[in-house]
Amino acid sequence: MGNETDQLHVLFFPFMALGHMIPTIDMAKLFSARGVRATIITTPLNAPVVSKTMERGHYLGAQIGLRVIQFPSVQAGLPQGLENLDQDASPEIRLKFFLAMSLFQQPLEQLLQEYRPHGLVADAFFPWALDVASKFGIPRLAFQGTGFFAMCALQSLTAHKPYKGVGSDTEPFLLPDLPDEIKLTRLQISNDLTLGLENDFTRFFKEARESEERSYGTIVNTFYELEPAYAEHWRKVLGRKAWHIGPVSLCNRDAQDKTQRGKAASIDEDECLKWLNSKYPDSVIYVCFGSVSKFPAAQLLEIAMGLEASGQQFIWVVRKNKDEGDEEEWLPQGYEKRMEGKGLIIRGWAPQTLILDHEAVGGFVTHCGWNSTLEGVSAGVPMVTWPVFADQFYNEKLLTDVLKIGIGVGAQRWVPFVGDFVKQDAIEKAVKAVMAGEKAEELRSRAKSLGGMARRAIEKGGSSYTDMDALIEELKLYHAQI
């Protein structure tokens, strides 16, 4: 390899969506904390998300580099300035965005030639990265961005197609060969899968799965104690190589690190903490649906009314369309005035882990994106589960049926980015149940115990710490032998 020293050098190339970039950056920080040189590759408009971390990283003595490559907007037929999936776009543009990823093959090849790193952590959405890495004898580690449970559930679905054996879209079917009895309905999974469709999207995801399977292994942002049966199932029953190194978000220990994750927060850190500091422990529910889903005004209105009716204090993060100027459409009249001191609305981007980790927060209404799920687990809070699409219905099952730290709001339908329509009564009921219902204490105590396990997992001697050691040693050995 081209490195003059014995120091390992790993390149990280995340898919350009915040739910992929944020954990990849955290992962690079964890590697660099173990003395591995880490270089993150991204495009110009995504560079600030990484560079903020680097400024802090250098200050902390970490070694994280950034390499910026152009986004092939013209070649891909995409509008200039669209470099991240969190930006507003039509379904056609989103498809083009996914397909544009293959245009990074050539620039990645040049970078591997130049750096000759010891490992390439490339997003599962870059299936072609395996061939590029193999050309240089570099192990490609796939990063999926989800947990073992969801990986096993998807594998069960694609291998056994149990959705074919039911008479309707709402009849539950069992996912075969999983450690627990897990049931889903056809409504809760993608149409592409249930209808057996073949299109650019399905081909893209199929390729991604196949490439991951042929890769050197998969890095999973999870910890063993969270889903031991599924970690074993993935490795021993399905025979796949994987390392669990999470929850990676826990590498952000102080308030500034937490505030700087992702985009610039739409609320001042001190203002946010002051608000939370004025509340009793476990008295606030945090409501946020991740970085890409965006609900229509009618749904936001139901949330506003459901939260008010629940009588609970809340912080609610609302992602807004650029052109959605009129607040009255989604907020009942005089709402914010009525809620003053009781409910805080953050329009745009929230410092999520800063909020979740505050002792005043005692619950989380989540879309069950994997990062949010793990961040909720790490903070030791019970959750109201409101899956929208992607892996989120599987993650909901993990929280409600396996870990029993979540209560479903009743979202039944997989609808990309927008979600099923949920009425205010259901929201009120689920929020009350998690914060103050009969089972709230039970849920909270299980959640707190898992939070403790999460923190121990990444400390020296913990399960994730040890697995990361194993991966680093294996990469060293791999290169010593060639």
Between residues 324 and 469, which has the closer beta carbon with respect to ligand UDP? 324
Query: What's the CA gap between 403 and 283, in Å, rounded?
Result: 22
Catalytic choice (26, 86, 123, 467) = 123
Helix locations, 380-462, DSSP H: 392-397, 424-436, 440-458
Question: Is 13 an interacting residue with respect to ligand UDP (CB under 6 A)?
Answer: no
The amino acid sitting at 336 is E
Residue nearest to ligand UDP (CB): 19
18 vs 111, beta carbon nearer ligand UDP: 18
393 contributes a contact to ligand UDP by CB under 6 A: no
Q: Is 18 in the site for ligand UDP (CB under 6 A)?
A: yes
Judged by CB, which is closer to ligand UDP: 231, or 265?
A: 265
Q: DSSP 3-state assignment of 163?
A: helix
Least distance CB 104 / ligand UDP (angstroms): 20
- Taking CB under 6 A as the criterion, the residue among 11, 12, 15, 19 binding ligand UDP is 19
Least CB distance to ligand UDP at residue 476 (A): 30
Residue count at the site for ligand UDP (CB under 6 A)? 20
Query: DSSP of 227-238, one letter per residue?
Result: SHHHHHIIIIIS
Q: Does 22 bind ligand UDP (CB under 6 A)?
A: yes
Distance CA 351, CA 268 (A): 9
Active-site option among 9, 20, 233, 358: 20
Q: Closest separation between CB of residue 353 and ligand UDP, Å?
A: 6
Does the footprint of ligand UDP cover residue 262 (CB under 6 A)? yes
Closer residue to ligand UDP, CB minimum distance, 130 or 355: 355
Task: Considering only residues 181 through 240, tell me which ones interact with ligand UDP, judged by CB under 6 A.
Answer: none
- Specify whether 367 is catalytic: no
By C-beta, is 57 or 145 nearer to ligand UDP?
Answer: 145
**Residue 291 is a binding residue for ligand UDP (CB under 6 A):** yes
Q: For residues 28 and 49, is the Cβ–Cβ distance under 8 A?
A: no
317 is a contact residue toward ligand UDP (CB under 6 A) = yes
- Tell me the DSSP string of 318-359: E---TT---GGGTS-TTHHHHTTTTEEEEES---HHHHHTST
Whether residue 393 contacts residue 188, with contact meaning beta carbons closer than 8 Å, is answered with: yes
Rounded Cα–Cα distance for residues 169 and 90 (Å): 27
Rounded to the nearest whole angstrom, what is the least distance from the CB of residue 344 to ligand UDP in the complex? 13
For ligand UDP, the closer CB: 247 or 462 = 247
Shortest spacing between CB 257 and ligand UDP, in angstroms: 12
At closest approach, how far in Å is the CB of 370 from ligand UDP?
5
d(CA 100, CA 128): 12
Between 335 and 349, CB nearer to ligand UDP: 349
Please list every residue from 74 through 133 that binds ligand UDP, using CB under 6 A: none
Interactions with ligand UDP, residue window 328-387 (CB under 6 A): 349-350, 352-353, 369-372, 375
Cβ closer to ligand UDP: 217 or 416? Answer: 416
Q: Could you tell me if 125 and 98 are in contact, meaning their C-beta atoms sit under 8 angstroms apart?
A: yes
Task: Provide long-range contacts, Cβ within 8 A and 24+ apart, for 329-332.
Answer: 329/297, 329/301, 330/297, 330/298, 330/300, 330/301, 330/304, 331/300, 331/301, 331/304, 332/301, 332/304, 332/305, 332/308
Look up 200 and say whether it is catalytic.
no
Is residue 52 a contact point for ligand UDP (CB under 6 A)? no
The single-letter code of the amino acid at 91 is P
Count of helices and strands (H, E) across the chain = 20, 15
Contact 423, 459 (CB under 8 A): no
Rounded least distance, CB 24 to ligand UDP, Å: 11
Beta strands in 118-232 (DSSP E): 119-123, 140-143, 173-174, 183-184, 217-220
Binding site for ligand UDP (CB under 6 A): 18-19, 22, 261-262, 288, 290-293, 317, 349-350, 352-353, 369-372, 375
Residues classed as catalytic: 20, 123
